[in-house]
Structure 1
Amino acid sequence: MSNVRANRVGEQIKKELSDIIQRELKDPRIGFITITAVEVTGDLQQATAFITVYGDDEQRSKTLQGLDKAKGFIRSEIGKRVQLRKTPELSFKFDESIERGNRIEELLRNLNKEDK
């Protein structure tokens, strides 16, 4: 499989995953969540969804527990919506890039204050 197809499938899964989490899941552990990216392997067997969660570390862990519990349901819904021979296995990871970016921005602001 080409990377172009894997990227297109990843974008489609991202769109459907956002819709499923927003409209279909009723788990109270799952808070305000954003799907930032979905990476799919070249053979379309594995998909990793990168998420950000609004809240503290406890809220993040509860959200991840809720998503892991609903993984089977989410995968079956994606299978219905995305036309593939086999629906990829899903895994969820926290996207640390936004927090890293905010930290770098804060450090740069502090440097600018010190210079003035």
Structure 2
Amino acid sequence: MGKSIKVQRKESILKEIIPEALSQMNDGRIRGLSVVDVVCSRDGSDAKVYLEKSYLNDKEQKASLKQLKQARGYIQNYCLKSTGWFKVPNLSFTFDDLLEQENKMEDLFNKISKK
């Protein structure tokens, strides 16, 4: 069964608000991050925020995730004030590797089609 409309709406709103919160941060590494997707748990109490990692190496990604972990309270508070909700999901941040996976799959398909 698919996600409820309430959860989908929450994901959509968070996808708009979290980049606003990131742009308010003082740290340039965090300010420059782009939100690719937000996925909420079924009950909406947790949300995983997927970030674009196009220009960051592994060391920079780890440093950014550490900074985001420290700033999570500020980001959740920003979301709370912006939405007027009584409770904001617990946010966890990760870098999206879907593009890399898609490129690998495409390379495999190209190799198969050449044979």
Structure 2-normalised TM-score?
Answer: 0.83
- The question of whether the paired residues in 1 share the 8 Å contact of 2:35 and 2:51 is answered with yes
Identity of aligned residues (%): 24
Q: Please report how far the alpha carbon of residue 98 of structure 1 lies from its aligned counterpart in structure 2 after TM superposition.
A: 1.2
Residue 24 of structure 1 deviates from its aligned partner by: 0.5
Given the two structures, how large is their TM-score scaled by the length of structure 1?
0.82
Q: Judge conservation of contact 1:30–1:62 (CA < 8 Å) in 2.
A: no
Q: Which residue of 1 aligns with 2:82?
A: 81
Root mean square deviation, CA, Å: 2.0
Q: Deviation at 1:41?
A: 2.2
CA distance in 2, matches of 1:76, 1:46: 15
Contact 1:18 1:35 in 2 (8 A): yes
Report if aligned partners of 2:25, 2:31 keep a CA contact under 8 Å in 1.
no
* Deviation readout 1:68-97 (Å, 9 max, x if unpaired): 111010010000011212111111122221
Where in structure 2 are there 5+ consecutive unaligned residues?
A: none
For residue 67 of structure 1, report the CA deviation from its aligned partner. 0.7
User: How many Å separate the matches in 2 of 1:36 and 1:78?
Assistant: 17
Q: How does 1:66-77 map to 2 (within 5 A)?
A: 66-77=67-78
Check conservation: 1:35, 1:49, Cα contact below 8 A: yes
Deviations 1:90-115 (A, max 9, x none): 11122221110122223344555x55
Q: 1:65 and 1:73 mapped to 2: Cα distance?
A: 14
